[in-house]
Amino acid sequence: MNLEVVILAAGQGTRMKSKLPKVLHPLAGKPLLSHVVSNAKKLGAQAIHVVVGHGAEQVKNAVGDFTVNWVVQEQQLGTGHAVAQAMPLLSKDSIALVLYGDVPLTSVETLKGLLHKVDEQSMALLTVNLANPTGYGRIIRDTQGQVQAIIEEKDATVEQRKIREGNTGILAVPSRKLQEWLPRLSTNNAQGEYYLTDTIAIAVAEGMPINAVVAHTEEEVQGVNSRQQLALLERWYQLQKANELMAQGVSLADPARLDIRGQVSVAQDIFIDANVLLEGNVSIGEGVCIGPNVVIKNSVVGEGVTILANSVIESAEIEAGCQVGPFARLRPGTHLAQGAKIGNFVEIKKAYIGVGSKVSHLSYVGDAELGKEVNIGAGTITCNYDGANKFKTEISDGVFVGSNTALVAPIKVGENATIGAGSTLSRDVEPNTLVVARAITRVIKDWQRPTKKK
């Protein structure tokens, strides 16, 4: 049978104390709802239906990269009511998997295990064993261990509240049965809402087998209802990512102080110091050493690269053997060829730095192409912007640029040319020449500084 997924994402999340819809609060750099939709895609669902309510347009715009069917729940009357809004879109011949937009970390493996337990004649329910089940609906089983009902905490007796097996709300059921059952739900409960969980009792009454699958951990089925819960779930997620990296041969100075917000591929014998942030798609080669407080986003880092403390690297390619930092910034479009060196307080933007070339101190190189073995002195800048347009600087192999030089683009500097310190150049430089462009030095002896009149 085909799989269709219904994701409930209509809640306001009042405990978040935020104008932002709860499902848009970020975990690992992307909205909670995006995690859920992404996992649904990995299950090969024929269709994904997202039920929205509070901040519906904002939610649609924020998660618009995914192809889903949007269903608006005008009034939030409970989970059963929410699923009912999507039912007209579902095929009767499909399996419906119900997920929640504020439960972001349920693994694909767990969901596949749940789907293996459902067919045309049975349903599957995901449960979890909890150290503290407060707030969860309790799973009621008979003496043979078969699921008989789910009792919400506000409706549970004192004895039922002692049960530690809790309901995650995630279930898989033939769509045709949901279409039969949902109109039969009532609001005869403490919340005055239509509970999706009441379908369990209906299934039992009809003799439909209910196959319970227990989640591996509490955290993977943890919902987010407050900023405290979001923070706890963030740290758990990050620790899982840190463990994955260490299992692949990465040494971490402190696994609790690494943040991954995207997809990271790594080789062996990498060292990552404390407070490093890896964002987007990041590839790190063998033998790389990353210092503390480094940010790397959407970049490729080659073998044997050293990135020193407090450097920020975005949409850049760094070939083998380069050194970057400390306090360096590589902006989008930066490409460092093998063995290049970018030093402290240097900013590179949309520039190719050739093999073995060095920009070691306090410089800005933007919209430029540097050849091999170029040396850029401290305080050098490429003046690439006239207030309206960008222009390119080309520096050939073997050029030596003295400190405090300004290169006004467009400009070309020929091979093995030398530019004297303190020069400002706006014309091309011939190969194998020395160019010095400084103001004439004047010396006025016995100079008296101006003084203020009393």
Q: Which residues are catalytic?
A: 361
Instruction: Give the Å distances, CA to CA, from 267 to 50, 283, 300, 309.
Output: 38, 9, 12, 21
* DSSP letter (8 states) at residue 267: -
Cβ 283 vs Cβ 262: under 8 Å: no
Q: How far apart are CA 375 and CA 401, in angstroms?
A: 6
Nearest to 414 by CA among 389, 444, 434, 437: 434
Tokens found for residue 285: 């080669």
Q: Which amino acid is residue 48, in one-letter code?
A: I
Nearest to 260 by CA among 322, 121, 252: 252
Pseudo-torsion of CA 95, 167, 81, 15, nearest 10°? Answer: -130
Q: What is the SS3 string spanning 96-120?
A: EEEEECCCCCCCHHHHHHHHCCCEC
Pseudo-torsion of CA 71, 76, 79, 81, nearest 10°? Answer: -70
Cβ-Cβ contacts under 8 Å for 9 (sequence gap 6 or more): 21, 23, 33, 36, 50, 51, 52, 59, 100, 101, 102
Q: How far apart are CA 52 and CA 82, in angstroms?
A: 9
Pseudo-torsion of CA 287, 292, 297, 301, nearest 10°? Answer: -20
